[in-house]
A and B are shown apart, each in its own frame.
Chain A
Amino acid sequence: MESLMAIVVGILYATALYMMLRRSIIKLVIGLILLSNAANLLIFTAGGMTPAAPPLVPEGMLQPEGLVADPLTQALILTAIVISFGVLAFAVVLIHRAYEVVKQDDMDMMKDTDR
């Protein structure tokens, strides 16, 4: 299963980078969204994807029985998802502001506006 996911992650990274290398601002945003999905999935996959119980301790027991999924990667991704939303919002608004000020969505043209 991990091998399959590794390929999915690779493709997500490739699409994200391709979009980030475009000149259009909007494509950069799409690239960012894909990139954060790719990164989260990368961490998740690295934690192992064997079928296992969720990381919960059943009622009446001190420790979970049998194999449970890695809770640490889950905790990492959980916060990463929320933060990437915040950062995405920041980036999107920044880009929007930039567009409003320079009236230009071609980033090659934006380069010349600070002169």
Chain B
Amino acid sequence: MMLTAVFAGFVLAALAPWLTARLGGRVGWLFALLPAAIFVWLAGYIPAIAAGESFYYHYPWIPGLDINLTFLLDGLSLLFGLLISGIGTFIMIYAGKYLDGHQYQGRFFLFLLAFMASMLGLVLSSNLIALFVFWELTSITSYMLIGFNHEDEKSRKSAQQGLYVTVGGGLALMTGLVTLAMVGGSYELVELLGSSEVVQEHALYLPILLLILLGTFTKSAQVPFHFWLPNAMAAPTPVSAYLHSATMVKAGVYLMARLHPTLGGTDTWMIVLGLFGAATMFTGSLMAIRSSGLKSVLAYSTVMALGTLTMLLGVGTPTAIAAAVTFLLAHSLYKGALFMTAGNITHETGHKDFRDVGGLRREMPVSTLFGGLAALSLAGILPFFGFIGKELMFEAVLEANTIGTLITLLALASGIMTVAAAAIVGLRPWFGVRKPTKHTPHDPPLAQLLGPGVLASLGLLLGLLPFIAERSVLSAAALAIAGEPVELKLSLWHGFNLPLLMSAISLLVGLTIYWKWDTVRELLQARRFIDTLGAERGYDAIMRALVVVSEWQTRVLQNGHLRYYILTTVMTLFALLAYTILTRYPVWPGVDFSGIELQHLVIAVLIVLAALVAVSTHSRLGAVATLGAVGFGVALMYVMFSAPDVGITQVLVETLTVILLVLVLFRLPGFLDLTEHSTRLRDAIVAVLMGGVFTLLLLMAIDVQFFPSISEYFIEHSYPSAHGRNIVNVILVDFRTLDTLGEIFVLALAAVGVYAMIKLRAEDRKEGDRP
């Protein structure tokens, strides 16, 4: 069942283009059935998991490498699984209508469904390798979806940027995960969760932590990697709502939460996550009120939320974890709703900027209601669920000791700006003066209202009845993150205390900012230096450098001169061999000229002389003859040193080679001395050096025997087991048959290649095939 749930999405994705072509936009309702079914199935686990149970599924994949498809269903994965499938349901319906009639709607659903399956696999996997594979799959599907409008250059660039940043971080993550598995002794999350002491006291703890955080920070758009997320808004709105606010970008948060019991709780963890999270939160909220695009305000406020979650995980107290899970749920609900509403505004009016829309409440009353509800939750107003999350967040940062003052101030500042952003999102398009629009707006059809409606209403419902969320999944999720039971105590009213005061301040100041938003925004936008913050410039510089380097290395290495390729290869080989010989083998190998008989010496001298003549001759016939002499000399060596089979083969091949050369070589022009004297001298030196290294290498190989030869086995077993007296032949056709099979395939391919090359020219001549 678990496998089905995870992989059904991929199967449906494969069918999506075909189904969409048949059914059109209505297909969204059909596709929504899958996430809906998964949601219902997962919801069935709520009672057991709320009672503290967890479920573990094991399917062998590559057992030899300890890589298995294992799945862990506990509070945390359940919370994420429900969010992915629940919001996924509405996104499918929404996208069916939103992209109705789009040329590539089928392709869109393909990627979207594949993404959903990858994301489910990611949060449910218990094996680190499987988790990583799903992690990368989400990056790839996200890339496809950001670049969905592939004819638009900005889309392509944003898609690439998102891919490079997240996959680059993924590389670090993989290294971190593998090291973690080596240190912790298992690739299984369930086992790693219990080995925090071993891991945290290990010398490699810091590298592991930093590598994994690099992966999660890039994925979850933490400062300084936050720049890719607003650019990713080039994707169609359902993608922004689903991937870039509710689910994928939370994968990093998920992994940090998941590994909190293993890696968390140390000072490093607290400071790194706390500071980076707080910085991201502040940057996100500041950038949100500095922008004016419908989607970019929402995107930056997502950056703010991701920073908040990271910061809360860094603080790591029970209150902070309670705040994290609450904030996570609240954010997914209102942000999904707000993005879909923003999409509806653009869809209906044709405008993409908050400056261009206003007073739409009469034409779009239902949208106004849902957008407003969601914005109230974002602002953290009583009695919405967002309020509870925000209160808990303030409470948590007030409790934090190490860097408490700093992050409290940042939290208050970003709280203020978030209220302002919520006001921009929730008031600006609907109220005030009716601005002229490109199209006449109406409330969109049900498919596009269902998602915002349900999600925004849930934000209100859970705010009024917080115990529903608490008892179903949030307690269990907090348990999984903390590694011990956490009492959430979710309620709307905590009495008059400091968090409430902070809420009140942020509300008042935030609304003031909104009142003067146009001035504030222009003031902020005039501060150009803010644009230069963040790593986007670094990213651009790296990309430019890559191009420069690749141009340079292509020019240098792929220069089109075969002999320079050979020279480079040979010199590299020479350097590596010489280095190895000098460092690993300090003893000069023994040279032993005893036992050489006259005939051996004569043949050796013959081979050498023939080779030298072949090199220096100017006659083609002379070259062929001397090459033959080399070959026959070598054959004689084989025969004299007890290799009759090899000797015979060499003689036969030598004969055929002469035939070959006669047939081809004489149809080429004669020898040319093309190179200058100095070049020849250089080549001669290189050749002699390399020859010397091979002599040295061979002397060493004879001198040292590292392993017992496997030949003994063949000699002993040739007759008893393989019934053959010619051991060489037995090796060829019995002991090592598969090798020989490969070799005759190579021979056959060479022959086919020759045939093809000769016959190819028959195109412009007479068709001369079989006689």
List chain A positions with a Cβ less than 8 A from chain B: 1-30, 33-34, 37-38, 40-42, 44-49, 51-59, 61-64, 68-75, 77-79, 81-90, 92-97, 99-100, 105-108, 111-112, 114
B728/A26 in contact, CB under 8 A = no
CA distance A1 to B266 in the complex (A): 67
CA distance A112 to B656 in the complex (A): 34
CA distance A59 to B683 in the complex (A): 53
Q: Quick one: given A75-B732, A90-B753, A93-B754, are A82 and B747 in contact (CB under 8 Å)? A: yes
Q: Quick one: given A81-B649, A88-B657, A93-B757, are A26 and B665 in contact (CB under 8 Å)? A: yes
Q: Quick one: given A72-B731, A75-B732, are A87 and B750 in contact (CB under 8 Å)? A: yes
Distance in Å: Cβ of A10 to nearest Cβ of chain B:
3
CA distance A43 to B710 in the complex (A): 15
Q: Which 9 A-B residue pairs are closest in the complex by CB-CB distance?
A: A14-B691, A10-B695, A86-B750, A111-B560, A69-B642, A18-B687, A71-B727, A23-B674, A55-B727
CA distance A95 to B664 in the complex (A): 10
CA distance A90 to B709 in the complex (A): 34
Question: A54: which of B643, B675, B757 is its contact (CB, 8 Å)?
Answer: B643
Q: Quick one: given A15-B614, A22-B675, are A34 and B657 in contact (CB under 8 Å)? A: no
Q: With a CB–CB cut-off of 8 A, which chain B residues contact A93? A: 664, 753-754, 757-758
For window 282-333 of B, CB contacts with A under 8 Å fall at none
Distance in Å: Cβ of B341 to nearest Cβ of chain A:
57
- B753's nearest neighbour on chain A, judged by CB, is A90
B719/A62 in contact, CB under 8 A = yes
Known: A14-B692, A24-B674, A82-B649. 6 other contacts (CB 8 A): A17-B566, A34-B614, A37-B634, A40-B650, A55-B715, A90-B757
A72/B645 in contact, CB under 8 A = no
- A85's nearest neighbour on chain B, judged by CB, is B653
Is B527 an interface residue, CB under 8 A from the partner?
no
A54/B694 in contact, CB under 8 A = no
For window 198-239 of B, CB contacts with A under 8 Å fall at none
CA distance A88 to B5 in the complex (A): 56
List chain B positions with a Cβ less than 8 A from chain A: 559-563, 566-567, 570, 591-593, 595-596, 600-601, 604, 607-608, 611-612, 614-615, 620, 623, 627, 630-631, 634, 637-638, 641-646, 649-650, 653, 656-657, 660-661, 664-665, 667-669, 671-672, 674-675, 683-684, 686-688, 690-692, 694-695, 698-699, 701-702, 709-711, 714-716, 718-720, 724-728, 731-732, 736, 739-740, 743, 746-747, 750-751, 753-754, 757-758, 760-761
Distance in Å: Cβ of A23 to nearest Cβ of chain B:
4
CA distance A18 to B687 in the complex (A): 5
B563/A89 in contact, CB under 8 A = no
Q: Quick one: given A63-B719, A69-B642, A93-B664, are A45 and B691 in contact (CB under 8 Å)? A: no
A5/B604 in contact, CB under 8 A = yes
Q: Quick one: given A23-B674, A24-B671, A72-B709, are A9 and B694 in contact (CB under 8 Å)? A: yes
> Most chain-A CB neighbours within 10 Å: which of B641, B656, B724?
B641
A51/B674 in contact, CB under 8 A = no
Q: Quick one: given A18-B615, A34-B614, A46-B702, are A83 and B719 in contact (CB under 8 Å)? A: no
Distance in Å: Cβ of A52 to nearest Cβ of chain B:
5
Q: With a CB–CB cut-off of 8 A, which chain B residues contact A78? A: 645-646, 649, 728, 732
- A91's nearest neighbour on chain B, judged by CB, is B750
Q: With a CB–CB cut-off of 8 A, which chain A residues contact B671? A: 24, 26-27
Q: Quick one: given A15-B615, A86-B750, are A20 and B669 in contact (CB under 8 Å)? A: no
B751/A86 in contact, CB under 8 A = yes
Question: B691: which of A3, A13, A73, A83 is its contact (CB, 8 Å)?
Answer: A13
Q: With a CB–CB cut-off of 8 A, which chain A residues contact B715? A: 55, 63-64, 68, 71
Distance in Å: Cβ of A86 to nearest Cβ of chain B:
3
B669/A105 in contact, CB under 8 A = yes
CA distance A83 to B657 in the complex (A): 12
Question: B690: which of A17, A40, A90 is its contact (CB, 8 Å)?
Answer: A17
CA distance A28 to B719 in the complex (A): 44
Q: Quick one: given A14-B690, A28-B562, A100-B761, are A62 and B720 in contact (CB under 8 Å)? A: yes
